[in-house]
Amino acid sequence: MEPALDETTLVPCPTWAPGIRIAALSTVLKEFDRVGLPRVLRSVSNAADRDICQGRGLRSWCFDRGLNRDAGLFVASRLARQPFIDGPNGLMARAEGNRILETQANGRLVYGLGLGALEGSPVALLSSDAVPAGRQVEVLILDASTDPIAVRQASVLTYSCGDEVAAQANNLHAVVDAAISSGQVLLSSVAEVFPHLRIGPRAAEAFAALTGAEPVFQQLVRHLRALNSAAEAWAAGAPYQPQGVTFSPESEQTLSHGRFGPMRDFPSPDGFGQERWSLHTKLTGGNGARMYFRAIRSPEGVAVLIGYFGHHLPCMRYP
């Protein structure tokens, strides 16, 4: 699910300056980061040195004095990250396994688009007058390990500027969320996927125990997405309002009860003060789980604290 670079777009362009093309690529990568994709850009091994203008590749142009320094450094930081897509130990070989695969687009062998087709991941383009905008590309996957050769077609989403990524944010969120396969994967990726969320120790313990096969698991990911999206949209002076999930506060009678109230004294994430938790989302999968949260606005930004995930706790209404 890691984004890849389409190496077929690493070619000279007679009308678009390298600085413009690299700046556009940097906006794609920044928007990939915003939607929670892994912060890498997989490429073929010689991607950084392919001629894009005057015999010079991205490795050279990213540090050119005439280029926007921040854009150049940002793109350069994502280049030359191993493993590469091509090669005997590359990502395509890993995806191939025991099969004998070849991926083609427009009649030519492709690697970045091929990886996107095999793994359902998005692909970044280096824009040019020949490829001025991202588009859906049809990739043929040929499997020569069968007789006759099996051929299937896959659509790959490609992006040449950040605005295109932003316009498809909801679709990309779905791709990112679907790749969260277990509680351990969730915890390891939460900082990138849900950057506004802060997970407390009791919630983290509950998440870590999830295998991903639980009836409630995908609903949990959807609720976390809703809480993070609400944090991004939370305007100063307005109420924090998650969309698409059911949530409510505890009753004052439950919170002040001598036994039920202390049940909601979950530990806060590191760096945040303790208080009795009240707001919780209601998950219907499995045994009707609850997830307690608290939204905080501070000079450092917006954070949504997650204190508890688990079974419905006793309360005044359901003791």
The residues pairing with 139 across neighbouring beta strands, listed in sequence order, are 154
User: In this structure, which amino acid lies at residue 132?
Assistant: P
Measure the CA–CA gap between 101 and 279, rounded to whole angstroms. 51
The gap between the terminal CA atoms of the chain, to the nearest Å, is: 45
Considering only CA atoms, which of 250, 222, 225, 242 is closest in space to residue 312? 250
The residues pairing with 292 across neighbouring beta strands, listed in sequence order, are 280, 308
Determine contact, residues 291/203, Cβ cutoff 8 Å: yes
Q: Are strands 136-143 and 101-105 parallel, antiparallel or unpaired?
A: antiparallel
Helix 18-35 with 69-78: angle, nearest 10 deg? 60
Measure the CA–CA gap between 77 and 66, rounded to whole angstroms. 18
In tens digits, the chain (319 residues) has pLDDT values of: 899 999 999 999 999 999 999 999 999 999 999 999 999 999 999 999 999 999 999 999 999 988 899 999 999 999 878 899 999 999 999 999 999 999 999 999 999 999 999 999 999 999 988 776 667 899 999 999 988 999 999 999 999 999 999 999 999 999 999 999 999 999 999 999 999 999 999 999 999 999 999 999 999 999 999 999 999 999 999 999 999 999 999 999 999 999 999 999 999 999 999 999 999 999 986 667 999 999 999 888 999 999 999 998 988 776 5
In the chain, where do the E strands start and end? 4-5, 101-105, 108-109, 123-124, 136-143, 150-159, 197-199, 247-248, 280-282, 290-298, 301-310
CB contact set of 174 (below 8 Å; sequence gap of 6+):
none
Radius of gyration of the chain (CA): 23
Considering only CA atoms, which of 229, 121, 316, 7 is closest in space to residue 221? 229
User: In this structure, which amino acid lies at residue 232?
Assistant: E
Strand order, beta sheet including 301-310: 197-199, 301-310, 290-298, 280-282, 247-248
Helices (H), 36-161: 58-61, 69-78, 91-96, 112-119
Helix (H, G, I), strand (E, B) or coil at 30: helix
Determine contact, residues 22/141, Cβ cutoff 8 Å: no
Measure the CA–CA gap between 281 and 230, rounded to whole angstroms. 13
Tokens of 315: 């309360």
23 φ/ψ angles, rounded to the nearest 5 degrees: -60, -40
Largest CA distance in the chain: 76
Count of C-beta atoms within a 10 Å radius of residue 262: 10
Q: Tell me the pTM.
A: 0.86
The residues spanned by each domain of the chain are 4-170, 180-310
Determine contact, residues 78/42, Cβ cutoff 8 Å: no
